[in-house]
Amino acid sequence: MSTIRLGVIGCGGITRAHLPSLRGSSDLISPELRVFAEQTELRAACDVDEGRAESVRAEYGGAYATSDPERVFSDPDVDAVLITTWHDTHAPFSLRAMECGKHVLIEKPMAMTLQECDDILAAEARSGVKYMVAFRCRFARGANDVHREIPNPDNTVAFARVNCVWPEGIWAQDPVKGGGQILSQGCHVVDMMFYLAGSEPEALWATGGVFHHDRKPEPIDTLNVAIRYRNGSVGAFIGGDGGQARLLPPGTYAACPFWVLVTDKGRSGLAIDHGQNARFETCVPPGKWVPPYEERNYSAEIGDGRASGMADILPTFARSIIRDETPPATAYDGARTTRFLLRAFESARTGKLITWDY
Ligand SMILES: NC(=O)c1ccc[n+]([C@@H]2O[C@H](COP(=O)([O-])OP(=O)(O)OC[C@H]3O[C@@H](n4cnc5c(N)ncnc54)[C@H](O)[C@@H]3O)[C@@H](O)[C@H]2O)c1
């Protein structure tokens, strides 16, 4: 395949973080991935709001804009799709795209139900296309340092303070369209947690509840989970939105200071700021107090754009197609994250320990 012709479905905010990498145009792409980015171009832009689709088409040079996703799926000149719509469309659009033989790059969370996870995994296996979930923390500099330097931790603690990047009334908070803040945003941290844990989860017990919202049925907004991994290591996930979306004045929002801490017998590593930066526990010289950690502040050293790795997501997807390689975050990873959170919600509701094998 000489050039990967991309159809984009959903032309909102995050689309404009991915598309600058088309044709290798972004300065933020890692040098080794630039050659793959150069082999991508926009073919079609689609959004229910056709004005948004047209604005993306005009900016990135696609052949057409449309409000009809089916036009993109059935277009023989589209090789791959980027799905960046609301969460309740992720599974149906994924299934249709794979049915039409398109490679898929999809924003998180991949799916909202256990059945959707099963269906996407089956379709991925059946279709043979490349299916990649855009879990951004896997591309971030600090998280990759921790992954490389502490590959087999005995304890993994994750913190997802999913407070109001998205305000209260937005679709992501809607139980049906988005699934609530923990599924919508906490999934970033859950994926980073599994990426760094180096083992598959085997059992969990959770406690939590709906502390801050009152729509029915409202997803759980406060959640603490204890985890046991297959390799015998343990961990914890702590997540919640604190109800802050209601408290802040319109037009303001708080940050989401996502982090994952891993420990091995003699060392610990902390991936912070969506994994952009890291801290490692170090040895303190006897008799002299110094901060007992080594700090790697990539955001300050090379800027947030490079530290986040966002510009590398589309080129990595292209590389997996061109080289016929497995992408770094597959449907399996997408399913693991959704399954984990839905099972944690179930445990919090029932009080039961949940074990699984997959
Ligand atoms: N990786 C990240 O850091 C990050 C950040 C923000 C959002 N996201 C994810 O990106 C996705 C989109 O989020 P966003 O913030 O860009 O939202 P957004 O609302 O800005 O954009 C979504 C777009 O999808 C369109 N859309 C919705 N349903 C559609 C349909 N059926 N057919 C065609 N178009 C449709 C909407 O009109 C809208 O323009 C979500 O999955 C979200 O979780 C990821």
Distance 244 CA to ligand 1 centre (A): 22
Average pLDDT, integer, range 41-70: 98
Q: Do 105 and 220 belong to one domain?
A: no
Percentage of the chain modeled with pLDDT above 70: 95
Distance CA(118)–CA(103), nearest Å, equals 18
- For residue 14 and ligand 1, the question of a CB distance below 6 A is answered with yes
Q: Which tens digit of pLDDT belongs to each residue from 116-142? A: 999 999 999 999 999 999 999 999 999
pLDDT at 253: 61
Q: Do 173 and 322 belong to one domain?
A: no
Q: Identity (one letter) of the amino acid at 268?
A: S
Q: Do 273 and 165 belong to one domain?
A: yes
Give yes or no for residue 15 having a pLDDT over 80. Answer: yes
On whether the CB atoms of residues 24 and 37 are closer than 8 A, the answer is yes
Among 8, 85, 90, residue to substitute to test ligand 1 (most atoms within 8 Å of Cβ): 85
Distance 315 CA to ligand 1 centre (A): 20
Q: Do 161 and 243 belong to one domain?
A: yes
pLDDT at 252: 64
pTM for the model stands at 0.95
Which among 310, 317, 323 is positioned nearest to 81, based on CA atoms? Answer: 317
Q: Which atom of ligand 1 is nearest to the CA of 171?
A: 19
Distance CA(79)–CA(6), nearest Å, equals 6
Q: Which atom of ligand 1 is nearest to the CA of 46?
A: 33
Q: Which atom of ligand 1 is nearest to the CA of 135?
A: 1
Q: Do 10 and 101 belong to one domain?
A: yes
- For residue 11 and ligand 1, the question of a CB distance below 6 A is answered with yes
Distance CA(136)–CA(271), nearest Å, equals 13
Give yes or no for residue 246 having a pLDDT over 70. Answer: no
Q: Which atom of ligand 1 is nearest to the CA of 170?
A: 19
- For residue 49 and ligand 1, the question of a CB distance below 6 A is answered with yes
Average pLDDT, integer, range 219-240: 96
Percentage of the chain modeled with pLDDT above 90: 80
Distance 51 CA to ligand 1 centre (A): 15
Range name among 108-117, 196-205, 265-274, 338-347 with the lowest pLDDT average: 265-274
Q: Which atom of ligand 1 is nearest to the CA of 166?
A: 15
Q: Do 320 and 206 belong to one domain?
A: no
Among 163-167, 179-183, 327-331, top mean pLDDT goes to: 327-331
In this prediction, residue 6 has a pLDDT band, given cuts at 50, 70 and 90, of very high
pLDDT at 3: 96
Q: Which atom of ligand 1 is nearest to the CA of 136?
A: 1
Among 84, 183, 337, residue to substitute to test ligand 1 (most atoms within 8 Å of Cβ): 84
Q: Residue 326 CB: number of other CB atoms within 10 A? A: 12
Give yes or no for residue 164 having a pLDDT over 80. Answer: no
Q: Do 36 and 130 belong to one domain?
A: yes
- For residue 54 and ligand 1, the question of a CB distance below 6 A is answered with no
Q: Which tens digit of pLDDT belongs to each residue from 176-216? A: 898 988 999 999 999 999 999 999 999 999 999 999 888 77
- For residue 220 and ligand 1, the question of a CB distance below 6 A is answered with no
pLDDT at 251: 67
The structural domain count of the chain equals 2
For 72, the 3-state DSSP assignment is helix
Average pLDDT, integer, range 45-49: 98
Distance 280 CA to ligand 1 centre (A): 35
Average pLDDT, integer, range 86-94: 98
Distance CA(205)–CA(353), nearest Å, equals 5
Average pLDDT, integer, range 32-58: 98
Give yes or no for residue 22 having a pLDDT over 70. Answer: yes
Give yes or no for residue 32 having a pLDDT over 70. Answer: yes
pLDDT at 282: 79
In this prediction, residue 249 has a pLDDT band, given cuts at 50, 70 and 90, of low
On whether the CB atoms of residues 349 and 225 are closer than 8 A, the answer is no
Q: Do 93 and 70 belong to one domain?
A: yes
Distance 87 CA to ligand 1 centre (A): 8
Q: Do 190 and 210 belong to one domain?
A: yes
Q: Do 166 and 227 belong to one domain?
A: yes
Distance 102 CA to ligand 1 centre (A): 20
pLDDT at 212: 85
- For residue 276 and ligand 1, the question of a CB distance below 6 A is answered with no
pLDDT at 198: 93
- For residue 315 and ligand 1, the question of a CB distance below 6 A is answered with no
Query: Containing domain of residue 150, as a range?
Result: 138-308+337-355
Q: Do 156 and 240 belong to one domain?
A: yes
Is the pLDDT higher at 256 or at 344? 344
- For residue 69 and ligand 1, the question of a CB distance below 6 A is answered with yes
Q: Do 22 and 159 belong to one domain?
A: no
In this prediction, residue 322 has a pLDDT band, given cuts at 50, 70 and 90, of very high
- For residue 165 and ligand 1, the question of a CB distance below 6 A is answered with no
Strand locations in the chain (E): 4-9, 40-46, 64-66, 80-83, 103-106, 131-133, 155-161, 201-209, 222-229, 234-240, 259-263, 268-272, 277-281, 293-296, 354-355
Average pLDDT, integer, range 153-175: 83
CATH of the domain at 58: 3.40.50.720
CATH of the domain at 247: 3.30.360.10
